[in-house]
Amino acid sequence: MASAQQTIGSGMATRRKKPKTPLPKPTQGLVGQPLKRVEDHRLLTGQGKFLGDIRLPGLSYATFVRSPYARARLKHLNSVAALSLPTTVAVFTANDLIGLGDMPTVEEAPEKYPTKRPVLVQDEVRYLGEAVALVISTDPYAAEDAAELVDVSYEPLEPVVDPVKAMLPDSPRVHEHIPNNIAYHLKTESGDVERAFSCSDGVLTLELENQRVSPTPLEPRGVAASYDPGSSNLTVWSTTQDPHSLRGILSAGLGLPEAKITVIAPDMGGAFGQKISVYPEDFAIAFAAIRLRRPVKWLESRRENLLVGTHGRGQVQRIELAHTNDGRVLGVKAKIVSDGGAYSTSGAFEIPELTCAMVTGVYDVQDVRTELYSVLTNKVPQDAYRGAGRPEACYLIERAINALAKKLRLDPLEVRRKNFIPSSKYPYRTASGYTYDSGDSHLALSTLLERSQVHSRLTELRKSFPDRLFGLGFSTWTEITSFGPDFPQTAAVSVTKEGEVLVAIGGHPHGQGHFTSMVQIVSDELGVDPGSISIAEGDTRLLPWSSLTAGSRSAALTGTAVLLSARKIKGKMSVIAAKLLKDNPSELVFERGQIYSMAKPERRIAFKEVASAAYLPSKLPEGLEPTLYEYTAYAPSNYAFPSGAHAAVVEIDPETGAVRPLEYYAVDDVGRVINPLLAEGQVHGGVAQGLGQALLEKVVYDRSGQLLNAGLGDYCLPSTTDMPRINWSRIETVTYANILGVKGIGEAGTIAATPALVNAVEDALGAAGGEPLGMPLLPELVWKSLSSKSRTATASSSAHEGDRASG
């Protein structure tokens, strides 16, 4: 495969539809260039400012006392011994949280039940690690000591652990008012599903589990809060992807006006969806800081992060494909049982909804029925993990397509090609009601095969090492990004009278490199040196409102909001410059710190000079407001739908069942790319997380609801030696989802990698593997599958070859 550098911008762009609005001008400037990151210097030199690095005068340290049971009645709690330590400042229990509201839940609707979630448990513990008390000390070590001294007694109750069993009538209830623990039930149907199934030659049924995993950002969560009684201003520092949301929810919980609350999200060591929700700790720490009139800080330990940081995925899935004998899919029925955890949260309901909506992937099927059960269990609530609902959809359909190929003894790629949405059908309206903006799965797949040569690579491997087991797996993926009409993103651009540009962006980037990509956009638009542009973010005082950094939406939304704000600045500066140059404002060019007209390029004025003039009312055209500050709240009218094709080559050690990923190839269509260096980095990291779920990761609960792997020694993240090299390149179909022409890249790798890898392992195992493989594909599981294979192989030695349709 050619290197990514060679293939980026290699003229693969396909233009099909006449644009409704003019296309962006071909890029001359920084957009599209692999600019090295502007945010790196301080991170490389240890000068990042993460939550744990915050120091405040008089700071006290918090520790939570957490339930050792998944479900229990809180009998008795005594904090006398903890309070006797000289270092203890306070101990709070549920009874002490006077005036503090409960955690947010969902709106009540038919077949949709809200739940009451306390900040600290009052009577019934509903998940392992749920906090029962908050201890504040003058020293972080002493806080741990004091927490040990809080005496709590519980009456353990039978927990609900398995989401499918939870739906049985005789199962205990996580919340008494919710029958069968079904907190949310949603059915959708489009087309004529019964007709599709009755017309088909057969039905392929596949049942899979998409296991619960922990997002595991390398920096766990944390909160600090400081209250100024004089002004009654509260400042909260939190590891959050969504500072303004947190401000609003804290305001409701604390009964403090939003205008009195500042939320600051400092540098953040990854998040991956786990830092979207508002947590009990946010409420408790803010409350304690107000009550104690001194700053309080809490840092989550890794054990706590695995126990009580939201988990992602967690679905038991069933899919039925009505198909013809030659592999055409006519109709789809999907049933999702989602393991929502102990409380009704919007994340636990909306994420599996996305799975249902995206379950047809890149395939042209209009007769579709989905049914979702979001079920309560005695586990920490479920929320987003990179991809949030779409990896689950992609996994289900991409495994099912392979299973269909296996059933019909067809090449899985042939079955894919037969069912791809033809590029001529874009914009394509899906059965679920979305409109896919653009895409070309045929081109993505053929490009992948051509550039990677994976088939000959596999043949070569099998020939060179006939005693070893190799497999090749594919996924052809899509997802929904650019959320969305309901969550506008904001940005403001200002220019100082010295001509320096300050950009304020909403949300809270945490590793994606937004500083760099936003600098590229602004530098091009205003024709200024990237070094003269500063970016500020993660502080609710910067902008009146903003929405979350998540869902591969920042290039599309933040980028567009930044671009539109910069354009407004340019418009205003053009008017001022035109007056100074005695020229027409509509014809001015901003380039290399100069402003001039195309007609008379020799007459120019410095950007800085125009900026200075903007601050002198006497120099301004009449009616023009002095200073340079422009704000945009941008809400796209539609989503965007990136897509692509991925391939994995794996080797299995037949002695141990260990899976070794050897090679990984990806060709993605993510629209226009602002910075290929950053985009490729997102794919690398995404693939690593998708690989983690396929091969290594799962939160393992026993029957009593204990989490058996609440540490990084047992919860295995991929390490350097688990990862293959990733060869990424791209194609580009033109999208009009936004004026930048971008689709979003953050989740692509995670969505595509999991099914590609599992399909590769199934390919390596061959036909006789029996039951469909579950995840993660730990050696034991693979080895067992291999042993059953060797038993079957004695009976039918030709079975293996027969299935190797893609080889």
Binding site for another protein (CB under 8 A): 36-37, 39-41, 43-50, 52-53, 55, 140-141, 216-220, 267-270, 272, 299, 301-303, 510-513, 677-678, 680-681, 684-689, 711-713, 717-721, 723, 725-726, 749
Q: How far is the CB of 449 from another protein (least distance, A)?
A: 22
Q: How far is the CB of 760 from another protein (least distance, A)?
A: 17
Cα(770)–Cα(766) distance, integer angstroms: 9
Q: How far is the CB of 804 from another protein (least distance, A)?
A: 29
Cα(703)–Cα(128) distance, integer angstroms: 12
| CB nearer another protein, residue 658 or residue 717 | 717
Q: Tokens 């749920």 correspond to what residue?
A: 130
| CB nearer another protein, residue 367 or residue 383 | 383
Q: What is the amino acid identity at position 207?
A: E
| CB nearer another protein, residue 676 or residue 766 | 676
Alpha helices by DSSP H, listed for 420-513, are 441-452, 454-464
Token readout for 218 is 């390398």
List C-alpha distances in Å: 751 to 274, 395, 689, 707, 761.
17, 8, 9, 26, 17
Q: How far is the CB of 459 from another protein (least distance, A)?
A: 25
Q: CB-based contacts of 37: which residues, under 8 Å, 6+ apart? A: 513, 515, 516, 677, 678
Residue 261 three-state SS: strand
Terminal Cα distance for the chain, rounded? 18
Q: How far is the CB of 397 from another protein (least distance, A)?
A: 24
Q: Tokens 């909160």 correspond to what residue?
A: 223
Q: How far is the CB of 49 from another protein (least distance, A)?
A: 8
Cα(384)–Cα(365) distance, integer angstroms: 27
| CB nearer another protein, residue 314 or residue 513 | 513
Cα(685)–Cα(750) distance, integer angstroms: 8
Cα(239)–Cα(275) distance, integer angstroms: 6
Q: What is the amino acid identity at position 595?
A: I
Q: What is the helix, strand, coil percentage profile of the chain, to 5?
A: 35, 25, 40
Checking 587-592 for CB contacts under 8 A at 24+ apart, the result is 589/527, 590/525, 590/526, 590/527, 590/528, 591/527, 592/527, 592/529
| CB nearer another protein, residue 267 or residue 803 | 267
Cα(424)–Cα(340) distance, integer angstroms: 39
132 near 67, Cβ under 8 Å?
yes
Q: How far is the CB of 472 from another protein (least distance, A)?
A: 20
| CB nearer another protein, residue 114 or residue 243 | 243
Q: Which of 802, 661, 759 is nearest to 719 (CA)?
A: 661
Token readout for 265 is 């999200």
Q: How far is the CB of 267 from another protein (least distance, A)?
A: 7
Q: How far is the CB of 218 from another protein (least distance, A)?
A: 5
Q: How far is the CB of 516 from another protein (least distance, A)?
A: 10
Q: CB-based contacts of 221: which residues, under 8 Å, 6+ apart? A: 239, 274, 275, 279, 281, 300, 305, 309
| CB nearer another protein, residue 680 or residue 732 | 680
| CB nearer another protein, residue 484 or residue 724 | 724
Quick one: angle between helices 514-526 and 559-581, nearest 10? 30
Quick one: angle between helices 390-408 and 412-419, nearest 10? 120
Q: How far is the CB of 677 from another protein (least distance, A)?
A: 5
Give 294-345 as a DSSP string: S-EEEE--HHHHHHHSPBB--EEEEEEEEE-TTS-EEEEEEEEEEEEESS--
Q: How far is the CB of 36 from another protein (least distance, A)?
A: 6
Q: How far is the CB of 489 from another protein (least distance, A)?
A: 20
| CB nearer another protein, residue 712 or residue 781 | 712
| CB nearer another protein, residue 41 or residue 582 | 41
| CB nearer another protein, residue 166 or residue 299 | 299
| CB nearer another protein, residue 40 or residue 780 | 40
Cα(166)–Cα(173) distance, integer angstroms: 8
| CB nearer another protein, residue 671 or residue 690 | 690
